[in-house]
Amino acid sequence: MLFYVQMRWNHEGRVSLDELWEIEAQETVHAQETIDSGMVVGIWKVAAQKRVIAVVDCPTAEELDRTALGRLPMREYLDFEVVWPLRDYAGFANDVNARYRV
């Protein structure tokens, strides 16, 4: 299942900038591993903002929760602003053409 995930860094007053960069360096390694595994379809840093967005392919919402709250190196410093499950548009189009009748 695909999810759109929007995260904001929440580190002010919690860690120094040097500590933040150390944690973020660990996060970049983790991000590459999840891209290589196919779990992350795409990830982007929003220019001029303390915000990252990603499209994530997780089998369930529970697995996304485990990753977000337990596996991410930045988990203590990320606010998950938006998490939207994404539906394949072709499947939606099929339902529209069938008028949602099965």
The pTM of the full predicted model, rounded to 2 decimals, is 0.89
Q: pLDDT value at position 47?
A: 98
Delimit the domains of the chain by residue range: 2-97
Averages of pLDDT over each 10 residues, the chain, 102 residues: 97 96 97 97 97 97 95 96 97 94 82
What architecture does CATH give domain 2-97? Answer: 2-Layer Sandwich (3.30)
The tokens describing 61, both together, are 């919402």
CB distance 74 to 27 below 8 Å:
yes
CB distance 7 to 79 below 8 Å:
yes
The tokens describing 83, both together, are 């998490």
CB distance 4 to 83 below 8 Å:
yes
In angstroms, the first-to-last Cα distance of the chain is 21
Question: How many other C-beta atoms can be found within 10 angstroms of the C-beta atom of residue 34?
Answer: 19
